[in-house]
Amino acid sequence: MMNTDFRGARHATPLLAKAVPTAVLLVGAFYCLVPVAWVLAASSKSRSQLFTTFTLAPGTGLADNLQNLFAYGDGQYGKWALNSLLYAGVGAVLSMIVSTMSGYALAKYRFRGSSVVFFAILGGVLLPGITLAIPQYLLMSKIGIAGSVWSVLLPSIISPFGIYLSRVYAMAAVPTETMEAARLDGASELRMFRSIAMPMMVPGMVTVFMLQFVGVWNNFLLPFIMLSDQDRYPITVGLYTLLSKGSGEPALYSLAIIGSALSIIPLVLLLLFLQRFWRMDLISGGLKG
């Protein structure tokens, strides 16, 4: 960067100008990593070490804790992890497809009712989705699917924000000229979407997928309300049950801690991996439409 040339004259201490911002950023990084360090240290402690040794010092009970965690309730933790993966993975893939199709239609076609649909979507963005969880539960009870996998999966597919972002991305990334040329060549509308628009929309799709995956993975109230069978719980609800039972049964504290530590590792890895592909300017730049 050339800017130091201009700043040199104004700042007598360029070292300070470098050190202070770096130090502030490192303090922020430290703040964000402390709980992660704590949970990793705590998950290696045996039950007696948890409340007696220095809280950030590693213990000697990691193997035992892991064994206890996977033995708990006939391997319930493994089921919870798979359930989370199912709800978030399948939910986010379907959500991405539905959002891409809807966003593309709203961005690239003019048709009767398009503005009604668009404003309905915007209203949906502002509506706190969580306030819908109870009526969704009641309606699903009526048709008899409350408590099933579907009751968590189906509401996770619709994402007004995902549709909104897909529309923004389709407007920017799919040139109308290309579509017109393809149309003149006799391509069908469906083929045009599949072979021309979709490949151009991939970065936007990755972004929508990632936002929805994290959103569903982190969701607590919806599965908490919908599900009663512990074997269908996602990790968030499962860990909560361990913790709330823990006050009567302290052994479960260790399980909740190691369960938390394990559950954040795959998601952190996924985010670090996807970080290279997504387009966050979709969210920040989406305002300028």
Closer residue to other proteins in complex, CB, 27/71: 27
CB 89, min distance to other proteins, A: 15
User: Alpha-carbon dihedral of residues 91, 201, 105, 117, nearest 10 degrees?
Assistant: 50
CB 75, min distance to other proteins, A: 20
Closer residue to other proteins in complex, CB, 230/275: 275
CB 74, min distance to other proteins, A: 23
Closer residue to other proteins in complex, CB, 67/244: 244
Closer residue to other proteins in complex, CB, 79/169: 169
Contact status, residue 152 vs residue 84, Cβ threshold 8 Å: no
160-163 LR contacts (CB < 8 Å, sep 24+): 160/121, 160/122, 160/123, 160/124, 160/125, 160/127, 161/124, 161/125, 161/211, 162/95, 162/96, 162/98, 162/99, 162/103, 162/208, 162/211, 162/212, 163/98, 163/99, 163/102, 163/103, 163/106, 163/121
Contact status, residue 67 vs residue 255, Cβ threshold 8 Å: no
Give CA 79 to chain center in angstroms.
20
CB 238, min distance to other proteins, A: 10
Closer residue to other proteins in complex, CB, 66/241: 241
CB 35, min distance to other proteins, A: 4
